[in-house]
A and B are shown apart, each in its own frame.
Chain A
């Protein structure tokens, strides 16, 4: 792989840019791999990458039904933060956030990580208490966050209206080192690095069956033929239930649609990320200038990648009150992604009842921020059978009643 650098740009400028290589190969599947990862989204690719980088396991295929990063990796609002209440979540998300800081250098691919800071607005008395508690918890966990006053919120985000009649801004939880990154670049960067290590990223290849012998996985059947493997990682977000059924077990998951939308591009107006959980809206401005707006989920099971219009309306109406200037903007695009929501709203990184099958799912409405940390932890789990980061996230926690109760801690947007 030729490295990207300022020198490479200069070199190619002298020869009409004829020397750029394909970023990753497009191979046909081999008959056998040590590890197969189903799902070439951020989490799947990151898992493969850290299997290679941290454990030297490079005989790996990443199989993708559609195209690389075409699911929720390409549909999120790119927010990165780690201000969680519970210790296991804070550890995992903080690992992830710290990996984002060096990801561009690590992958030699510009993921445009922008640690611009994240404010979670408190707009009710309940949220004030909740976020102050989170700030104290974060201090103990070594996650840098602080409780800030409404005046400080206004200073960080001048376009905000503090005195909305229904939901005044009463303060916020500020994580200065949170921010955003370019979501597609994260998938592309990992894919390029995986391909460079000799792994096969196989797109347009749907898994149709998971073959087992004596309770152990031996391979998968796909639309490109049968492929054998020793270990299988299922990293398919909203479609986890489907794959689990193929492997013969059930999951405590429901798949629902989560929507987002962007406005027409405008001049820079806001250089922080704002999350307003009471009114189900979150907002940031992309480098192109679009205001990126995330909304809430529909309450019902859905695989259609489109959500209900009234949720868009609710989100926009609430944000208009807090950000009056948005009322003049036209919305350009709206889309939905299928997110897998667990009973306690925390993910599962887990062994499964089938020997050799591992599952990474349940990220619900907040998986993008977790991509590198999730891949790091999942790789360790798959290579060594256990990881300190994933111990609390096993699927057995539901039967044991040992929840990681972030749905209470973090509200809806998560």
Chain B
């Protein structure tokens, strides 16, 4: 069972209070984009073994969306951060690097 801390309201709770929302940092494509961009945005997923960035919603709490970094092999949660960003915060990346040297995920590493 995952323990997550909502960066919006500060509550730490187990996963039944939250709802997983899929991969984080997707680049969205709108009308006029080509088929490959749409396919990548809508369907292609990182699905890594190891470090993963994903969206969560504090469903039974403040109701806000946020991002989390988590390991899919151990279920360790590295940290959570506000969703108003295009990339994970540097201090979180450094923390992940200390635990998983050489990690990479999508365009981040």
The answer to whether A301 touches B47, judged by C-beta atoms less than 8 angstroms apart, is yes
CB distance from A39 to the nearest CB of B (A): 16
The answer to whether B47 touches A241, judged by C-beta atoms less than 8 angstroms apart, is yes
Please give the number of chain B residues whose Cβ is less than 8 angstroms from any Cβ of chain A in the complex. Answer: 27
CB distance from A65 to the nearest CB of B (A): 13
- For window 1-50 of B, CB contacts with A under 8 Å fall at 1-2, 15-16, 19-23, 35-36, 38-39, 42-45, 47-49
User: CA of A299 to CA of B19 in the docked complex: distance in angstroms?
Assistant: 8
Do A251 and B49 form a contact, CB below 8 Å, given A301-B72, A304-B74, A308-B15?
no
- Which residues of the other chain, A, contact B42 by a CB distance below 8 angstroms? 343, 398
- Centre residue among B21, B45, B49 by max chain A CB count within 10 A: B45
User: CA of A343 to CA of B16 in the docked complex: distance in angstroms?
Assistant: 24
Stretch from A123-131, A198-206, A252-260, A321-329 forming part of the interface with B: A252-260
- Which residues of the other chain, B, contact A253 by a CB distance below 8 angstroms? 45, 47
The answer to whether A399 touches B47, judged by C-beta atoms less than 8 angstroms apart, is no
CB distance from B11 to the nearest CB of A (A): 18
User: CA of A300 to CA of B1 in the docked complex: distance in angstroms?
Assistant: 12
- Which residues of the other chain, B, contact A302 by a CB distance below 8 angstroms? 72, 75
The answer to whether A304 touches B73, judged by C-beta atoms less than 8 angstroms apart, is yes
CB nearest to B38 among chain A residues: A399
User: CA of A23 to CA of B19 in the docked complex: distance in angstroms?
Assistant: 47
Give the dominant DSSP class at B's interface: mixed
User: CA of A302 to CA of B1 in the docked complex: distance in angstroms?
Assistant: 12
The answer to whether A399 touches B36, judged by C-beta atoms less than 8 angstroms apart, is yes
Do A251 and B47 form a contact, CB below 8 Å, given A302-B75, A304-B73, A304-B74?
yes
Do A252 and B20 form a contact, CB below 8 Å, given A301-B54, A308-B1, A399-B36?
no
CB distance from B28 to the nearest CB of A (A): 16
CB 8 Å contact bits of A388-413 with B (1 = contact, 0 = none): 00000000001110000000000000
CB 8 Å contact bits of A231-273 with B (1 = contact, 0 = none): 0000000000110000000111111000000000000000000
CB nearest to B14 among chain A residues: A310
Q: B52 in the interface, Cβ–Cβ < 8 Å?
A: yes
CB nearest to A398 among chain B residues: B43
- Which residues of the other chain, B, contact A400 by a CB distance below 8 angstroms? 35
Q: A20 in the interface, Cβ–Cβ < 8 Å?
A: no
Do A310 and B39 form a contact, CB below 8 Å, given A301-B47, A302-B75, A303-B73?
no
- Which residues of the other chain, B, contact A303 by a CB distance below 8 angstroms? 49, 72-73
CB nearest to A299 among chain B residues: B20
CB distance from A378 to the nearest CB of B (A): 21
Do A298 and B74 form a contact, CB below 8 Å, given A241-B47, A250-B44, A399-B35?
no
Determine which of B15, B19, B39, B75 lies in contact with A398 in the assembled complex, contact meaning CB atoms within 8 Å.
Answer: B39
- Which residues of the other chain, B, contact A308 by a CB distance below 8 angstroms? 1-2, 15
Do A252 and B19 form a contact, CB below 8 Å, given A309-B1, A399-B36?
no
**Given A241-B45, A254-B45, A304-B74, 13 extra CB contacts under 8 A:** A251-B44, A252-B44, A300-B2, A301-B72, A303-B72, A303-B73, A304-B72, A304-B75, A310-B16, A342-B43, A398-B39, A399-B38, A399-B39
Please list the residues of chain A having a beta carbon within 8 angstroms of any beta carbon in chain B: 241-242, 250-255, 298-304, 308-310, 342-343, 398-400
List 7 A–B pairs whose Cβ atoms lie within 8 Å, in order of A's numbering. A252-B43, A253-B47, A301-B48, A301-B54, A303-B49, A308-B1, A343-B43
